Amino acid sequence: MKDFIKSVSATIVGLLAFSVIVGVICLMSLVGMIASSQSTQRVADNSVLVIKLDGALQERAEDNLYATLSGTSTKGLQETLEAITKAKNSDEVKGIYLEAGSYGADMAQMQELRDALADFKTAKKWIVAYGEEYSLGAYYVASVADKIYLNPQGTISWQGMGGQMMFVKDALAKIGVKMVPFKCGKYKSATEMFTEDKMSEPSREQTERYLGGWWQTVCQAVSKSRAINADSLQAYADRVISLEDPKNFIRYKMVDGLLYNDQVKNVVRSRLKLEKTDEVPQVSVADMINAPAEKKGDEIAVYYAWGDIVQERPSQDAFSNSHLIVGREMCADLADLADDDNVKAVVIRINSGGGSAYASEQIWHQIEALRTKKPVVISMGGAAASGGYYISAAADYIVAEPTTITGSIGIFGLTLDQSQLLTEKLGLRYDEVKTNRNATMGGMMKPMTAEQMALMQASVNRGYKLFKSRVARGRRMNMQQVEERAQGHVFLGSDALKLRLVDELGGLDKAVAKAAKLAKLDVYHTLPYPAPADMMTQLLNFNNNKGTALDEQLRLTLGTFYEPIRMLRTVQSLDPMQARCPFIITNF
């Protein structure tokens, strides 16, 4: 019997050891396959670069291990722009094929992408676009193409721009919950969804301004590229031509033909001078990125910072998986760049509507320290507002797209009052013991007193004054000049230039060129930061790499309910003071 037990035990141990060894081998093989797929490769002659205008566009691709295995890799603006530039300078790439769909990107990202495509055409190369459906954003980008084709049963979304804001005050009141705001600035409207039942006039005013500015940008670009009268484009939007017969899009000059997917391939073949039976040599954005390229001259670091601003990375849950600017991590990264003698200048690419005022101040301080050692230039993406502008103000120079959302110089606090829910709705009772009259301030069982609310407002006022002083110092203004541009007012980049809140209009390329000029560099190359985690680190943190895909699924499922639910879910963990933009529209 003892021999039998020993034999069985030995077998079990052997099987376990075998499983572990096989698992390690499989993981190593998997890492090898992924690494080999990302290795440098040459681009075939007579190739076409394929760019998909579909899905969510991030500032940088989040191609972690989980995303690679699950097929949920995100598209990155950085990689797409780099691929277009490489394709422009490549003798092997003859043109670009744009495959349109439902595109999720902010206006400034799309403008920068469209400008890069227009620059590609200056090399006497062609662009062809095709889609079974075009979202407004996808069509705006695709309108730069030499030829635009649509599926015979497809459509183009063309009905103007608009958005709806949800107000949850009355819904919360039904369950005995209310949000108590503390804010500075009549335009600081981030709290309105919890405290009002409609938009305030200042909020409506600034929203109409930037929506109108975006729509004007789209119409002007399409009018110029497609030779369509701007008044006609307005009339098409009013009529919602998206619902008309697709044949009308040819008559309106919005497309050049109606083709099925297999038919448009022959259009590309003819551009490449291929026979109808020949395969079209295709190259993806990833292929183009991995094509060999020599890095010349000195290094300019391009640091990507996008998402909500927080001081510490929160614990993982369904509503904390969006990309974040983590103050503690960014400060450490910028300190490393300051000490890196190989880095001659730093460009910080910001796309953020803000967040924690405390974290914004820490990052501001670190950028101030960085610029004592080397030039720092800000490149604003879709938004660099509130906390996003706070950290931008420390730089030597600021570049924004005309359609960037910026400004929103202001602070607010938001507290959750659940006392009615707990005491009246649920019938809970409480008693308290305290050494000082405000010792239980912040407790769940009773609302704040007038004194406590005054103390909170005074704290927010101090934060607002500090924010304005940072802007005054960085932008070389006095406090009165800053106040005239503050009050939480949101501006388009084109308006911010006139107000001296930014220095120049343009994309990342202009920011890099300015950084090179400030650092007195004639020959230079860029490297993106922070560097992605190596494969082994990703394997060890596999469970923590699932956030982006989950968050995108929640956004799609909840739609307009996502933001208020996320805010309610996280409001108690937010820093007391927030430098946050009211809302940012990202899908067109």
> What positions carry a catalytic annotation?
188, 386
Contact 493, 401 (CB under 8 A): yes
Residue 116 and residue 113: Cα distance in Å, rounded?
Answer: 5
Residue 111 and residue 133: Cα distance in Å, rounded?
Answer: 20
- Going by C-alpha positions, the residue among 76, 37, 32 that lies closest to residue 56 is 76
DSSP structure class, residue 292:
-
3-class DSSP assignment, residue 346: strand
Residue 20 and residue 2: Cα distance in Å, rounded?
Answer: 27
Contact 180, 276 (CB under 8 A): no
Residue 587 and residue 102: Cα distance in Å, rounded?
Answer: 9
Residue 229 and residue 546: Cα distance in Å, rounded?
Answer: 47
Helix (H) or strand (E) holding 151: strand 147-156
3-class DSSP assignment, residue 156: strand
Contact 367, 395 (CB under 8 A): yes
- Going by C-alpha positions, the residue among 497, 40, 557 that lies closest to residue 287 is 40
Buried/exposed 203-231: b ≥16 CB within 10 Å, e otherwise: beebbeebbebbbebbbebbbebbebeee
Residue 72 and residue 75: Cα distance in Å, rounded?
Answer: 9
Q: 201-226 and 107-121 are packed helices; what angle lies between their axes, rounded to 10 degrees?
A: 20
Residue 393 and residue 412: Cα distance in Å, rounded?
Answer: 19
Residue 552 and residue 410: Cα distance in Å, rounded?
Answer: 29
- Going by C-alpha positions, the residue among 420, 440, 442 that lies closest to residue 576 is 442
Retrieve residue 580's tokens: 């946050």
DSSP structure class, residue 422:
I
Helix (H) or strand (E) holding 131: strand 126-134
- Going by C-alpha positions, the residue among 215, 193, 201, 212 that lies closest to residue 489 is 201
Residue 496 and residue 105: Cα distance in Å, rounded?
Answer: 22
